[in-house]
């Protein structure tokens, strides 16, 4: 039977308030309104190198669901999270996503920190007509194709690269650029982004020094980076690789000849590296905990997260909170769990939770949002155990958005950067 027919049946059942499980129609059974609670499937790597970040995200998910339930849930139903560990393995992420849909009857799926998790989850969600919303970026761009039920809520490589370009140009840091990066899909997206932005702002792109994923010794690669004699070196690494790289870049003294900018970083990475390691390095972030002093909602969130985790929240937690809230709030507002109806309502939706205004772009389901440029502090300059960075600039989402045609940002659009 066609997907359209299944959706027609679903719509009729929802309108009648039916709780009937229809044999052969798992899509209908999954969303039957007779369920006592609405299940939100969550897949994150609770074991492996991103386990700490996963725990941060689970805390943010809990807070977001508590807020939704405090507002009456979704269509009068309490939201329940059903959590699974991806083990940082794509095949496990795929299996757990399938289990959440077929066994747990989850209405929506959220999660994924890295691309291979997201791609695995998206394949399952799109096959079963279930919305999959990522805590990370919209991973559809990795394979160059889009499933209409797939959404990303963190910064895309292009947004981060464009924000850095705005900042570098504004600060007159120089027009000769180079990148040091791990060699896999995500940094390869940054290579395209930086080279495209360089062309648009008139900078010289000298290329990339690639290091294998999983590199812990970057010292053999740093002489090649130094030989490029770049004014600015962008470093695109992640997790343990970034921690090792940051330490060794400081030891090597690269910052004495080039301005070092980490494409994106996290509070948890700076903690692992140690106090002062990121000193004078710049880095992009989707959110930083000091925004609690600017946004009352962020202050409330910070306090609740700290009560749960006894630590300042990481940047990804804000993206996680927004992922859960905007998905569930949208379903509640349209009074439907029908996949197509919720998808259409998400496209173009504007919202604001823990930072400046955000919008889900209809053409590619990318979240247009502020990018925060931060500067690493010295050990002596830290006021407390979480005070690793200062936000030096917020670059507005419209100033960093790549065109829907994939041709870079519009150079005629003014930057809406603001100093903080």
Contact 173, 149 (CB under 8 A): no
Distance of CA 124 to the CA centre of its chain: 20
Give the integer Cα–Cα distance in Å for 120 and 340. Answer: 21
Q: For residue 22, what are the CA distances in angstroms to 8, 18, 128?
A: 13, 11, 16
Q: Measure the CA–CA gap between 279 and 195, rounded to whole angstroms.
A: 26
Cα distances from 420 to residues 161, 293, 374, 386, in angstroms, run 20, 11, 10, 19
C-alpha distance from residue 51 to each of 126, 176, 201, 279 (Å): 26, 37, 39, 26
CA torsion 384-262-141-334 (nearest 10°) is 20
Q: Can you point out the beta strands (E) in 86-131? A: 108-111
For residue 25, pLDDT beyond 70: no
Residue closest to 114 by CA, chosen among 43, 195, 58, 212: 43
pLDDT at 142 over 80: no
For residues 136, 138, 144, 148, the Cα torsion angle rounded to the nearest 10 degrees is: 140
Q: In what order do the strands lie in the sheet with 350-351?
A: 350-351, 358-360, 367-368
CA distance 227 to 206: 11
Q: How many C-beta neighbours within 10 Å does residue 200 have?
A: 15
| For range 242-270, the mean pLDDT | 96
> What is the reported pLDDT for 20?
29
- Measured in residues, the chain has a length of 420
What does the pLDDT read at residue 185? 79
Q: Which two tokens stand for residue 328?
A: 């569930």
What count of other Cβ atoms lies within 10 Å of the Cβ of residue 155? Answer: 28
Beta pairing partners, 287 = none
Confidence of residue 140 (pLDDT cuts 50, 70, 90): low
Averaged pLDDT, 283-303 = 97
Task: State how far the Cα of 420 lies from the Cα of 410, in Å rounded to an integer.
Answer: 24
Query: At 41, which helix (H) or strand (E)?
Result: strand 37-44
Say what the pLDDT of residue 50 is.
Answer: 87
Q: b/e map of 358-396 (b: 16 or more CB within 10 Å)? A: bbbbeebbbbbbbbbbbbbbeeeeeeeebebbebebbbb
Q: How far apart are CA 217 and CA 49, in angstroms?
A: 17
**Tens-digit pLDDT profile for residues 172-203:** 999 999 999 999 878 888 998 899 889 888 99
What would the pLDDT profile of 406-418 be if each residue is shown by its tens digit? Answer: 654 443 443 322 3
Token pair for residue 65? Answer: 């669901």
Distance, CA of 150 to CA of 138 (rounded, Å): 7
pTM for the model stands at 0.86
Q: Identify the DSSP state of 286.
A: S
For the chain, domains (ranges, CATH) are 3-155+295-368 (3.40.50.2300), 157-291+372-419 (3.40.50.2300)
φ/ψ bin of 174: left (φ > 0), alpha (ψ from -120 to 50), beta (otherwise): left
Q: What is the mean pLDDT of residues 124-145?
A: 77
Max avg pLDDT among 50-54, 192-196, 371-375: 371-375
Q: How far apart are CA 77 and CA 184, in angstroms?
A: 42
What does the longest C-alpha to C-alpha distance in the chain come to? 70
Tokens of 183: 């060699």
């Amino acid at each position: 039977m066609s997907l359209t027919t299944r959706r027609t049946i679903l719509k009729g059942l929802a309108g009648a308030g039916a709780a009937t499980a229809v044999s052969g129609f798992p899509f209908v059974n999954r969303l039957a309104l007779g369920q006592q609670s609405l299940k939100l499937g969550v897949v994150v790597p609770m074991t492996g190198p991103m386990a700490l970040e996963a725990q941060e995200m689970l805390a943010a998910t809990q807070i977001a669901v508590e807020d939704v339930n405090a507002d009456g849930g979704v269509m009068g139903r309490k939201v329940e999270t059903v959590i699974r560990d991806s083990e940082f393995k794509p095949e496990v992420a795929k299996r757990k996503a399938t289990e959440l849909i077929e066994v747990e009857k989850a209405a929506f799926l959220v999660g994924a920190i890295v691309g291979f998790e997201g791609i695995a989850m998206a394949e399952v969600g799109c096959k079963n007509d279930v919305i999959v919303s990522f805590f990370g970026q919209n991973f559809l761009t990795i394979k160059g194709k889009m499933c209409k039920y797939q959404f990303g809520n963190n910064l895309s490589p292009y947004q981060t690269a464009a924000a850095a370009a705005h900042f570098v140009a504004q600060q007159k840091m120089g027009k000769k650029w180079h990148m040091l990066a791990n060699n896999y899909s995500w940094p390869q997206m940054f290579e395209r982004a930086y080279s495209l932005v360089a062309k648009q702002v008139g900078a010289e792109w000298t290329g990339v020094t690639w290091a294998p994923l999983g590199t812990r010794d970057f010292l053999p690669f740093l002489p090649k980076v130094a030989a490029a004699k770049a004014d600015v070196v962008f470093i695109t690494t992640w997790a343990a690789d970034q921690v090792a790289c940051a330490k060794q870049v400081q030891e090597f003294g690269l910052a004495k000849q080039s301005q070092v900018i980490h494409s994106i970083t996290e509070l948890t990475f700076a903690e692992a590296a140690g106090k002062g390691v990121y000193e004078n390095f710049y880095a992009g972030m989707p959110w930083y905990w000091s925004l609690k002093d600017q946004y009352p909602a962020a202050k409330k969130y910070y306090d609740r997260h700290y009560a749960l985790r006894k630590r300042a929240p990481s940047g990804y937690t804000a993206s996680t909170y927004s992922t859960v809230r905007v998905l569930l709030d949208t379903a509640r507002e349209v009074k439907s769990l029908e996949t197509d109806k919720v998808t259409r309502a998400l496209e173009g939706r504007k919202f604001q939770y823990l930072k400046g205004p955000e919008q889900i772009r209809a053409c590619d389901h990318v979240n247009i949002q502020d990018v925060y440029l931060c500067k690493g502090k010295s050990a002596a300059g830290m006021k407390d155990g979480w005070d690793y960075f200062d936000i030096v600039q917020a670059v507005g989402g419209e100033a960093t958005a790549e065109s829907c045609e994939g041709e870079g940002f519009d150079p005629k659009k003014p930057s809406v950067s603001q100093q903080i």
